[in-house]
């Protein structure tokens, strides 16, 4: 019965407009921001605070890895915490670099799978940055390619 | 029994599935209790439709008296009231009774059931022996069963069961019970499956219709909840929960769709404005009020949500998953807020906040209610979210109701408050008597400023504690920060300060610049209010240099600093003695980028000019004028011995400096790592991670491990040399970025400021009135260099009025050396060695060191006549500065008295070099002087050892000591120059019969070529008639290096010359170039004794008689004749060696024929003594026989003639045998003489004068007993005519000898 | 395969270049090894970022070392480390009995004196990789008979 119910639900989703991430951040293993970008319309500082605070949960999840089983040790950390207005998702690379995506709570079109794929995109793009000879590991990310990829994730289509 | 009938059905957990009982009530009543408790004992597996997992369930039932109206009417979907099974009880055991009554009842019962289309029935026949006893005509029990079976249950015989002696404790009754119960359970389950299945199907079809108009969510809700209830009733909470979750999802979906535009008409009721916001209610299992609202389709969105959640909550708690409740609660609350927004439901401002606040607390209380402390603490990661949410909401309410402002709420605030409270309605009964209910909390909080603060603080601290407890420090700080903001608005900076500092520190540490900036501004505000001037200014500096701020803002903060600087200076000028001096860390104000030394090498002599250029990068947005910029210098005296007066030694200090990272480069520059004042730490760490910029970089090297035995490689590899450094890198790194730490906030800076307080060191580099423009500035300094020692730059400080920016330590260490040097004079030859006898150039070098050569200073050279200083009036001195460029030249004036030569020096500055050249001439020491000394010192000539030491250079040398008085010292310096004598002379006496010749051999031992002119030989004492006529060429001759010239003189005399003759040879020489070089004399003195010839010796060899020639192996005659040539000299006359006999004076001679080349065999005696009359031309002949041993031209055997002294005669001092070199055959004579001559020759060798020897050891013969002695004649006294003659010897006739000869 | 050959050739050329430039006095000879190692470090950082893109998060240090020995080694040197040993106090010894970069050099002691320069880069690779995984370390190497060699990893606590 459950399955049935969700079938119909997902059908209803399709025609929804999609607002993508409102803030995307890359954070070094030492927890300082390598890259952080948010929707220009909203208060940048607020996002910085949100992202920074979310590191708490990220660390919590990472540290719990020891106990966790292999299948729970995936890089995607899932929903870090919801706030009234935002949902904050986390992802950590094996190099302990953290990605954080903040999504507007009103945005229901983005569910786990979409978020996952966004993180994958981020990770791939970040890897390219790392492999770029002009990038010094540990420096803030200036790569245009990375930037445009991120802004693609933040465009509002509706 | 009645009780069962009357019992009203209410929705409680006591609900059980209904089973009706018909037939004999008394019988059932007896069994009821047993049945009720037996039924649930055994679990039963429930297989279910839709592939859902089968479950074991314990069945219970609510047995009620059968009534027709219990049976559901058409279309009544109610499940809870639905009787799932109907049982007919009977214990009749005889057919009569059965036929009579029981059958009727059953029929009636059956028909009603059929009429309502219910097949779930069962007939139970109870048997008891008791009844049988008093019965007579008995039928077998089975018959009754059979009757019933074929009367009612056609082809479903299993619907009739028997129960034997249920009230007995017999095994029989036991098993009959269990079989009965199993049957009962099976039938119940069958009924469930059937009926629930049917119900679900209906429900589904109903849901499918949801897109149709007129479909009501509420109705559907009721239906599905019915199902949920049943599951709950069957204790299938999981399934029950699923029902609610589905409803939840469905509703959410609808709201979203609505938001997306397709209006679902039924949503209307939920869109109605929110009128009450009295939070969730979780204390009741079922909130009937809300349920009814829903039933009546009057529920608001909040009502629905609340009800839904309360049900979920209940179920979750049954499922022992309280934490899921908290989790879901947070989602729910967020979600509701979103949905209300989405549906644009009109809500009174703040109403939602109330609702959320209440709900949060409600959930928290509910959870606390159902689990103990330990569990709570273990899981506060779940609950903390709710706490903070509640806190936030309360804060919003506070703001809204003007409870946060300094001056309480105003009227409209109060109105708002009233409205909000109105929306809460009355407190619910179940919490009414609890003191800490959310309801009460909220009311209280909104009632007054104080109470609000109380509650707000309570909540905030709770949240912070929980966060810290689970190590979510950032979140805790964030709460702290909002708390600080609260305090600030309440005008209580004191309390705010701590929180702000704390979070600021963490942001700096983690390098989140935006937060840093934001928080720092708050800190600044706070510090300003607190009047922490120093910290405030420090913060201002940081903000003024903060790129995240706009120029205006930065300028403003910069101005703040300047204002303070000026204002306080004014107050001082007004005479108020408030010392406003403030020391701040420079890191935020400006950064030291580079230090450059001019000249490049940071090692200078005392008093030298050393420029120091400072590259300072100002971080201020505007130009800042500094009263003074100063670098404090630590001075450490140079340890003696660490650096002599030599220039080279200081250099070895510099590598030591370079060892420090960023040491002085060859260009004399020291670079400083740039650190960003705001987020320096972590960025540095980032660099560290990247391996660059790390304090200690990995140093790897190749190693080759060779086997000790044979040098083959065992292993090679890569090793790390500085492991120790790398392993303790972390702490060293932290020590590195102290400046940025200093900038990281008030508290730290104040700590830093203590260290910052300028150490007032004696030495200071200062410049006044510097204007620092934004960006790079370069400021020149002159470094002090008065005292010798090491100067280390310690601190950098900039004064702006009363404000002083200090760089507490300059790292990497920068230091420069100042050395002092003693003045010194050196004299060295220009050529590699000086030659005596010629004017030679020597170079005087004066390194002035710290001494200043004043006008009139002069060098005083004490003259020695052996080495005069030659005046060349054209003598100029060069003055060269320490850096090596020519400063000046000036002519030297040289005056010399007989004692001293004084050279007056031109004035010269310290640390300059003064040099000039002088000609000196060293006379070749004259021999006579030496001869006398020789006698005195028993032949040990002073300079001989030196000449020995110089022997290898092939030249004799003379050391000349010059003592010089220098103006800078009272002691006179003694300098010795070594001169080499370019020539070596030897003489020899040659005789031909009575004629005599003197030969002098002059050897040029130097490396230079010379011209030689008019060599002359003169006798020293002009007494005799001796004449020397030269056989030498008149013109100059060249003597090339290492070549010799021979000069020859014939000596003639009229009268008898004295026994001892002294000669001196003089030749003038000059170097070949320059051609005009003047000739200098070279003289060589020597003496000869007993030059005249006494005896002539002649030998003849005759072949054997009748032989034309000598032949080998045959005896030949050797005829030796000794002839006296001169009359006895008066010296000889009173000579003891002659003896007087009958008037004729004779002297004894001994001859000896020796043949050392063993050409001859002397036959007979080869020696003999003859007595010779001492008269001219007295002759003595000796014949003897010799035999040639070889053929060919054989030299004559040599013949010696010696004085033969009888034993009584005392020996005279024997003659000097220096000239023995001339005929060394003498040395072959006997041992004594041999070594004597040897020593002589040895001495003469290497000495300047070949007359080297003096004391001769007495011939060994003379030692011991007196006995006859032999004494040689002095050279030239015996002339051997046949010296070197040869005689032809033919070989003997035999061939084989001939062959021998051939060799 | 061309690509692996390419890496080897390039690696050789890099070494050539570095030592040449040292001879030409562009830097003192001792630094060559360090310089090569630093190159390796940067490459290692990039590589590990790629290689770990699709792997699960690591449990612990040992987990990481295993990854280095298996996946990392395989993708760089086309074989696994033959033996990994540790004292459980942060020292690991990785033994490769047929190290690809030495394989062409010699089989035995010939050219042994040149071996280190052919290991420096790899040391850097490992250190870079580890550091990017958040493990600070010092990596050294040792060869006694080529093409076998040992790498020692010393973890900085």
C neighbours by CB contacts (3+ pairs under 8 Å): A, B
Q: In the prediction, which pLDDT does C121 show?
A: 93
Higher pLDDT, B400 or B679: B400
Q: What distances in angstroms separate CA B404 from CA B397, B416, B424, B491, one per listed residue? A: 9, 15, 22, 10
Chain B, nearest residue to A18 by Cα: B260
Interface test with C, best of B687, B688, B716, B720 (most C CBs within 10 A): B716
C19 in reach of chain A (CB within 8 A): no
In the structure, how many helices (H) and strands (E) does chain A have?
4, 7
Q: What residues have CB less than 8 Å from B868, skipping those under 6 apart?
A: B920, B921
Cα C73 to its chain centre, rounded Å, is 9
Q: In the prediction, which pLDDT does B483 show?
A: 92
How far apart are alpha carbons B910 and B852 in whole angstroms?
5
Mean pLDDT of B739-767: 49
Lowest mean pLDDT among B292-306, B895-909, B1195-1209: B1195-1209
Could you tell me the two tokens for B1095? 């005896």
Contact B16, B62 (CB under 8 A): yes
Which residue, among B1055, B506, B432, B474, has the nearest Cα to B744 in the 3D structure?
B506
Instruction: List pLDDT tens digits, range B366-385.
Output: 888 777 777 777 778 788 88
How far apart are alpha carbons B367 and B282 in whole angstroms?
10
| DSSP symbol at C88 | S
C117 in reach of chain B (CB within 8 A): yes
CB distance A84–B334 less than 8 Å? Answer: yes
CB distance C138–B701 less than 8 Å? Answer: no
Chain A neighbors of B334, CB-CB under 8 A: 82-84, 105
CB distance A32–B687 less than 8 Å? Answer: no
Chain B, nearest residue to C135 by Cα: B689
Q: How many CB atoms lie within 10 A of CB C51?
A: 19
Chain A neighbors of B473, CB-CB under 8 A: 56
Is the pLDDT confidence value at B447 over 90? no
Could you tell me the two tokens for B164? 């034997």
Q: Please tell me the distance in Å from A65's CA to the nearest CA on chain C.
A: 6
CB distance C34–B716 less than 8 Å? Answer: no
Write the DSSP assignment of B20-34 as a string of letters.
EEEE-HHHHHHHHHH
Mean pLDDT of B76-101: 75
Contact B1203, B1224 (CB under 8 A): no
How far apart are alpha carbons B723 and B996 in whole angstroms?
92
CB distance A95–C55 less than 8 Å? Answer: no
Q: What residues have CB less than 8 Å from B351, skipping those under 6 apart?
A: B274, B277, B420, B423
Q: In the prediction, which pLDDT does A71 show?
A: 58
Q: Give kind and range of the element (H or E) at residue B1138.
A: strand B1138-1141
How far apart are alpha carbons B616 and B593 in whole angstroms?
6
Q: What residues have CB less than 8 Å from B1194, skipping those under 6 apart?
A: B1159, B1160, B1188, B1286, B1287, B1288, B1289
CB distance A124–C53 less than 8 Å? Answer: yes
Chain C neighbors of B717, CB-CB under 8 A: 115-116, 119, 140-143
B246 in reach of chain A (CB within 8 A): yes
Arithmetic mean of pLDDT over chain C: 88
Judged by DSSP in three states, B1006 sits in coil
Chain B, nearest residue to C36 by Cα: B700
When CB atoms are compared, the residue of B698, B716, B729 closest to C115 is: B716
How far apart are alpha carbons B1227 and B1231 in whole angstroms?
8
When CB atoms are compared, the residue of B689, B699, B718 closest to C120 is: B718
Cα B1117 to its chain centre, rounded Å, is 103
How far apart are alpha carbons B748 and B725 in whole angstroms?
28
Place of tokens 């209380």: B365
C75 in reach of chain B (CB within 8 A): no
How far apart are alpha carbons B28 and B1128 in whole angstroms?
194
Strand-pairing partners, residue B844, are B827, B916
CATH class, range A10-154: alpha beta
Helix segments in B585-728, DSSP class H: 653-659, 680-690, 723-727
When CB atoms are compared, the residue of C34, C123, C156 closest to B727 is: C156
Could you tell me the two tokens for B519? 């928080």
How far apart are alpha carbons A151 and B1286 in whole angstroms?
126
Contact B403, B446 (CB under 8 A): yes
Cα B1043 to its chain centre, rounded Å, is 68
Contact B1120, B1199 (CB under 8 A): yes
CB distance B515–A52 less than 8 Å? Answer: yes
Domains of chain B with bracketed CATH: 4-199 (3.40.50), 824-935+945-979 (2.60.40.290), 983-1089 (2.60.40.1230), 1093-1210+1263-1297+1299-1303 (2.60.40)
CB distance B682–A9 less than 8 Å? Answer: no
Could you tell me the two tokens for B24? 């004999």
Q: In the prediction, which pLDDT does B291 show?
A: 84
Instruction: List pLDDT tens digits, range B982-1014.
Output: 888 888 888 887 788 888 888 888 888 888 888
| DSSP symbol at B867 | B
Which residue, among B460, B466, B315, has the nearest Cα to B378 in the 3D structure?
B466
In the structure, how many helices (H) and strands (E) does chain C have?
6, 4
Q: In the prediction, which pLDDT does B1021 show?
A: 74
Mean pLDDT of B1017-1045: 81
Q: How many CB atoms lie within 10 A of CB B1260?
A: 13
Q: Which pTM does this prediction carry? A: 0.67
Q: Give kind and range of the element (H or E) at residue B896.
A: strand B893-896
C136 in reach of chain A (CB within 8 A): no
Chain A neighbors of C133, CB-CB under 8 A: 94-96
Instruction: List pLDDT tens digits, range B677-720.
Output: 444 433 333 333 333 334 467 788 888 888 888 878 888 888 88
Strand-pairing partners, residue B122, are B87
Contact B674, B680 (CB under 8 A): no
B396 in reach of chain A (CB within 8 A): no
Beta strands (DSSP E) in B24-118 are 43-46, 55-58, 62-65, 83-90
Burial of B386 (0-12, 13-18, 19+ CB in 10 A): buried
Contact B826, B612 (CB under 8 A): no
Judged by DSSP in three states, C17 sits in helix
Q: In the prediction, which pLDDT does B9 show?
A: 39
**SS (HEC) of B278-341:** CCCCCCCCCCHHHHHHHHCCCCCHHHHHHHHHHHHHHHHHHCCCHHHHHHHHHHHHHHHHHHHH
At B1108, phi and psi to the nearest 5?
-70, -40
Place of tokens 């399955």: A3
Strand-pairing partners, residue B179, are none
Q: Please tell me the distance in Å from A31's CA to the nearest CA on chain B.
A: 6
At B938, phi and psi to the nearest 5?
55, 40
Instruction: Indicate whether this complex's ipTM tops 0.90.
Output: no
Contact B823, B968 (CB under 8 A): yes
Strand-pairing partners, residue B323, are none
CB distance B515–A45 less than 8 Å? Answer: yes
Interface test with C, best of B690, B697, B699, B700 (most C CBs within 10 A): B700
Q: How many CB atoms lie within 10 A of CB B165?
A: 17
Interface test with A, best of B508, B685, B686 (most A CBs within 10 A): B686
Q: What residues have CB less than 8 Å from C97, skipping those under 6 apart?
A: C82, C83, C147, C148
Q: Please tell me the distance in Å from C120's CA to the nearest CA on chain A.
A: 20
Chain A, nearest residue to B210 by Cα: A8
CB distance B510–A32 less than 8 Å? Answer: yes
Place of tokens 């059937």: B194
Judged by DSSP in three states, A90 sits in strand
When CB atoms are compared, the residue of B698, B716, B727 closest to C116 is: B716
CB distance C57–A66 less than 8 Å? Answer: no
Q: Please tell me the distance in Å from C5's CA to the nearest CA on chain B.
A: 24
Q: In the prediction, which pLDDT does B32 show?
A: 77
Mean pLDDT of B247-276: 76
Higher pLDDT, C58 or B1211: C58
Could you tell me the two tokens for B828? 């060295």
Q: Please tell me the distance in Å from A133's CA to the nearest CA on chain C.
A: 9
When CB atoms are compared, the residue of A70, A74, A96 closest to C134 is: A96
Mean pLDDT of B266-295: 79
Chain B neighbors of A18, CB-CB under 8 A: none
Q: Please tell me the distance in Å from B712's CA to the nearest CA on chain C.
A: 9
Peptide bond into B504 cis (omega under 30): no
Q: Please tell me the distance in Å from C30's CA to the nearest CA on chain B.
A: 7
Q: What distances in angstroms separate CA B801 from CA B571, B579, B842, B1101, one per listed residue? A: 11, 12, 64, 127
Chain C, nearest residue to B725 by Cα: C156
Lowest mean pLDDT among B480-489, B673-682, B1090-1099: B673-682
Could you tell me the two tokens for B818? 């100042």
How far apart are alpha carbons C127 and B1262 in whole angstroms?
97
CB distance B689–A81 less than 8 Å? Answer: no
Q: In the prediction, which pLDDT does B516 show?
A: 92
HSE, side-chain direction, 13 A CA sphere, residue B603: 18
Domains of chain C with bracketed CATH: 4-155 (3.30.1380.20)
Lowest mean pLDDT among B30-34, B376-380, B1232-1236: B1232-1236
Q: Please tell me the distance in Å from A68's CA to the nearest CA on chain B.
A: 18
Q: In the prediction, which pLDDT does B167 show?
A: 72
Place of tokens 């010239």: B1045
Q: What residues have CB less than 8 Å from B841, skipping those under 6 apart?
A: B829, B830, B831, B917, B918, B919
C56 in reach of chain A (CB within 8 A): yes
CB distance A74–C56 less than 8 Å? Answer: yes
How far apart are alpha carbons B476 and B919 in whole angstroms?
93
Is the pLDDT confidence value at B211 over 70? yes
Chain C neighbors of A71, CB-CB under 8 A: 56
């Amino acid at each position: 019965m459950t399955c049935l119910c969700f079938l119909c639900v997902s059908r209803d989703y399709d025609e929804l407009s999609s607002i993508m991430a409102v803030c995307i951040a890359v954070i070094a293993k030492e927890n300082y921001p390598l890259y952080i970008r948010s929707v220009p319309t909203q208060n940048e500082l607020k996002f910085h605070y949100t992202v920074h605070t979310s590191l708490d949960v990220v660390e919590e999840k990472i540290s719990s890895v020891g106990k966790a089983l292999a299948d729970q040790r995936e890089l995607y950390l899932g929903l870090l915490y919801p706030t009234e207005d935002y949902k904050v998702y986390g992802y950590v690379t094996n190099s302990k670099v953290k990605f954080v995506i903040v999504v507007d709570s009103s945005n229901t079109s983005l569910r786990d799978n979409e978020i996952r794929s966004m993180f994958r995109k981020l990770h791939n793009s970040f890897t390219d940055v790392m492999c770029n000879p002009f990038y010094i590991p540990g420096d803030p990310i200036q790569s245009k390619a990375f930037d445009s990829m991120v802004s693609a994730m933040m465009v509002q289509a509706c | 029994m009645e009780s069962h009938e009357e019992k009203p059905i209410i929705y409680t957990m006591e609900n059980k599935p209904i089973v009706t009982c018909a037939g004999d009530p008394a019988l059932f009543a007896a069994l009821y209790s047993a049945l009720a408790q037996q039924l649930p004992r055994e679990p039963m597996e429930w297989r279910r439709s839709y592939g859902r997992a089968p479950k074991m369930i314990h069945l219970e039932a609510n047995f009620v008296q059968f009534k027709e109206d219990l049976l559901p009417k058409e279309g009544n979907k109610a499940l809870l009231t639905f009787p799932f099974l109907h049982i007919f009880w009977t214990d009749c055991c005889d057919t009569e009774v059965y036929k009579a009554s029981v059958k009727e009842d059953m029929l009636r019962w059956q028909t009603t059931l059929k009429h309502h289309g219910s097949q779930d029935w069962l007939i139970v026949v109870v048997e008891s022996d008791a009844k049988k006893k008093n019965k007579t005509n008995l039928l077998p029990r089975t018959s009754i069963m059979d009757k019933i079976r074929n009367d009612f249950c056609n082809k479903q015989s299993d619907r009739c069961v028997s129960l034997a002696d249920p009230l007995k404790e017999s095994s029989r009754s036991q098993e009959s019970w269990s079989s009965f119960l199993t049957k009962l359970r099976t039938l119940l389950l069958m009924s469930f499956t059937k009926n629930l299945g049917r119900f679900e199907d209906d429900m589904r079809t109903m849901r499918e219709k949801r897109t149709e108009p007129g479909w009501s969510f509420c109705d559907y809700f009721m239906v599905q909840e019915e199902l949920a209830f049943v599951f709950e009733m069957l204790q299938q909470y999981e399934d029950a929960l699923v029902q609610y979750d589905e409803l939840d999802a469905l509703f959410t979906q609808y709201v979203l769709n609505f938001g997306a535009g397709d209006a679902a008409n039924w949503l209307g009721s939920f869109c109605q404005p929110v009128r009450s916001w009295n939070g969730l209610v979780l204390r009741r299992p079922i909130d009937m009020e809300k349920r009814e609202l829903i039933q009546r389709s009057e529920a608001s969105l909040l009502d629905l949500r609340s009800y839904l959640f309360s049900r979920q909550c209940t179920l979750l708690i049954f499922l022992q998953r309280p934490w899921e409740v908290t989790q879901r609660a947070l989602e729910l609350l967020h979600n509701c807020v979103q949905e209300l927004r989405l549906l644009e439901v009109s809500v009174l401002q703040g109403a939602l906040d109330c609702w959320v606040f209440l709900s949060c607390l409600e959930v928290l209380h509910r959870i606390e209610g159902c689990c103990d402390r330990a569990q709570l603490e273990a899981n506060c990661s779940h609950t903390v979210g709710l706490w903070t949410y509640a806190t936030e909401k309360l804060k919003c309410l506070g703001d809204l109701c003007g409870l946060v402002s300094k001056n309480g709420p105003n009227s409209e605030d109060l109105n708002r408050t009233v409205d909000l409270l109105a929306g809460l309605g009355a407190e619910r009964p179940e919490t009414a008597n609890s003191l800490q209910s959310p309801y009460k909390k909220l009311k209280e909080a909104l009632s007054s400023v104080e109470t609000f603060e109380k509650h707000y603080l309570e909540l905030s601290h709770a949240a912070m504690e929980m966060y810290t407890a689970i190590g979510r420090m950032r979140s805790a700080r964030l709460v702290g920060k909002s708390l600080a903001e609260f305090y600030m608005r309440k005008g209580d900076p004191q309390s705010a300060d701590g929180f702000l500092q704390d979070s600021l520190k963490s942001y700096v540490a983690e390098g989140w610049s935006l937060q840093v900036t934001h928080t720092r501004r708050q800190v600044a505000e706070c510090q300003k209010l607190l009047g922490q001037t120093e910290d405030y200014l420090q913060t201002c500096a940081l903000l003024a240099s903060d790129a995240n701020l706009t120029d205006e803002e930065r300028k403003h903060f910069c101005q703040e600093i300047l204002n303070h600087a000026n204002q306080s200076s004014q107050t001082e000028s007004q005479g108020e003695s408030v010392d406003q001096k403030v020391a701040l860390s420079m890191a935020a104000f400006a950064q030291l980028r580079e230090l450059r030394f001019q000249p490049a090498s940071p090692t200078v002599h005392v008093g030298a000019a050393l420029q120091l250029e400072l590259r300072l990068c100002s971080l201020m947005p505007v130009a800042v004028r500094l009263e003074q910029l100063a670098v404090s210098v630590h001075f450490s005296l140079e340890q003696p011995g660490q650096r002599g007066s030599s220039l080279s030694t200081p250099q070895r200090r510099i590598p030591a400096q370079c060892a420090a990272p960023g040491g002085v480069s060859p260009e004399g520059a020291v670079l400083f790592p740039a650190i960003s004042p705001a987020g320096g730490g972590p960025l540095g760490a980032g660099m560290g991670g990247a391996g660059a910029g790390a304090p200690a970089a990995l140093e790897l090297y190749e190693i080759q491990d060779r086997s000790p035995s044979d040098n083959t490689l065992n292993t090679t590899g890569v090793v790390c040399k500085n492991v120790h450094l790398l392993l303790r890198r972390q702490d060293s790194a932290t020590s590195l970025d102290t400046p940025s730490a200093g900038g990281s906030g008030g508290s730290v800076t104040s700590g830093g400021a203590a260290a910052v307080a300028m150490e007032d060191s004696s030495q200071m580099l200062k410049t006044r009135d510097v204007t620092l423009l934004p960006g790079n500035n370069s400021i020149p300094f002159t470094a002090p260099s008065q005292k010798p020692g090491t100067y280390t730059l310690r601190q950098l400080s900039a004064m702006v009025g009363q404000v002083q920016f200090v760089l507490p330590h300059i790292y990497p260490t920068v230091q420069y050396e100042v050395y002092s040097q003693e003045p010194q004079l050196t004299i060295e030859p220009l050529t590699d060695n000086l030659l005596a006898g010629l004017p030679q150039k020597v170079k005087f070098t004066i390194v002035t060191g710290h001494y200043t050569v004043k006008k009139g200073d002069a060098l005083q050279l004490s003259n020695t006549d052996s080495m005069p200083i030659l005046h060349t009036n054209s003598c100029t001195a060069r003055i060269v500065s320490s850096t090596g460029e020519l400063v000046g030249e000036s002519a030297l004036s040289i005056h010399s008295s007989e004692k001293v030569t004084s050279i007056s020096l031109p004035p010269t500055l310290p640390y300059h070099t003064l040099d000039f050249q002088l000609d000196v001439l060293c006379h070749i020491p004259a021999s006579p002087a030496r001869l006398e000394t020789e006698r005195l010192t028993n032949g040990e000539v002073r300079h001989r050892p030196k000449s020995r030491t110089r022997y290898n250079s092939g030249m004799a040398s003379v050391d000349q000591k010059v003592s010089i008085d220098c103006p800078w010292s009272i002691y006179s310096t003694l300098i010795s120059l070594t001169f080499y004598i370019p020539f070596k002379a030897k003489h020899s006496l040659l005789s031909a019969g009575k004629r005599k010749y003197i030969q002098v051999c002059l050897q040029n031992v130097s490396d230079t070529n010379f011209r030689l002119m008019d060599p002359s030989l003169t006798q020293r004492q002009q007494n005799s008639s001796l004449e020397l006529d030269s056989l030498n060429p008149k013109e100059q001759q060249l003597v090339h290096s290492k070549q010799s010239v021979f000069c020859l003189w014939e000596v003639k005399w009229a009268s008898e010359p004295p026994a001892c003759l002294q000669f001196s040879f003089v030749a003038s020489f000059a170097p070949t170039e320059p051609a005009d070089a003047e000739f200098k004399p070279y003289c060589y003195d020597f003496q000869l004794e007993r030059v005249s010839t006494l005896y002539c010796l002649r030998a003849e060899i005759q072949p054997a008689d009748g032989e034309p020639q000598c032949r080998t192996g045959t005896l030949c005659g050797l005829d030796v004749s000794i002839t006296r040539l001169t009359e006895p000299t008066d010296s000889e006359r009173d000579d003891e060696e002659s003896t007087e006999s009958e008037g004729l004076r004779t002297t004894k001679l001994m001859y000896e024929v020796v043949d050392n080349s063993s050409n001859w065999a002397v036959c007979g005696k080869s020696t003999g003594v003859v007595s010779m009359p001492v008269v001219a031309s007295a002759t003595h002949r000796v014949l003897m026989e010799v035999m040639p041993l070889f053929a060919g031209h054989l030299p004559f055997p040599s013949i010696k003639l010696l004085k033969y002294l009888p034993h009584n005669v005392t020996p005279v001092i024997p003659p000097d045998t220096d000239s023995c070199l001339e005929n060394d055959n003498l040395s072959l004579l006997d041992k004594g003489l041999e070594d004597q001559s040897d020593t002589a020759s040895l001495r003469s060798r290497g000495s300047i004068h070949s007359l080297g020897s003096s004391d001769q050891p007495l011939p060994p013969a003379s030692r011991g007993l007196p006995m006859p002695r032999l004494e040689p004649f002095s050279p030239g006294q015996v002339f051997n005519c046949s010296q070197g003659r040869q005689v032809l010897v033919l070989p003997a006739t035999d061939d084989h000898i001939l062959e021998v000869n051939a060799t | 395969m061309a690509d692996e050959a390419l890496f080897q050739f390039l690696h050789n050329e890099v070494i050539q270049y570095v030592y040449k430039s040292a001879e030409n006095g562009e830097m003192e000879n001792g630094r060559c090894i360090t310089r090569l190692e630093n190159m390796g470090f940067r490459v290692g950082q990039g590589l590990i970022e790629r290689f770990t893109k699709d792997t699960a998060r690591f449990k612990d240090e040992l987990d990481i070392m295993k990854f280095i020995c298996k996946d990392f080694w395989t993708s760089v040197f086309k074989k696994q480390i033959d033996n990994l040993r540790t004292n459980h106090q942060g020292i690991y010894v990785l033994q490769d009995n047929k190290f690809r970069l030495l394989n062409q050099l010699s089989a035995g002691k010939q050219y042994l004196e040149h071996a280190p320069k052919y290991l420096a880069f790899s040391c850097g690779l490992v250190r870079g990789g580890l550091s990017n995984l958040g493990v600070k370390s010092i990596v050294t190497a040792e060869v006694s008979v080529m093409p076998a060699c040992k790498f020692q990893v010393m973890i900085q606590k």
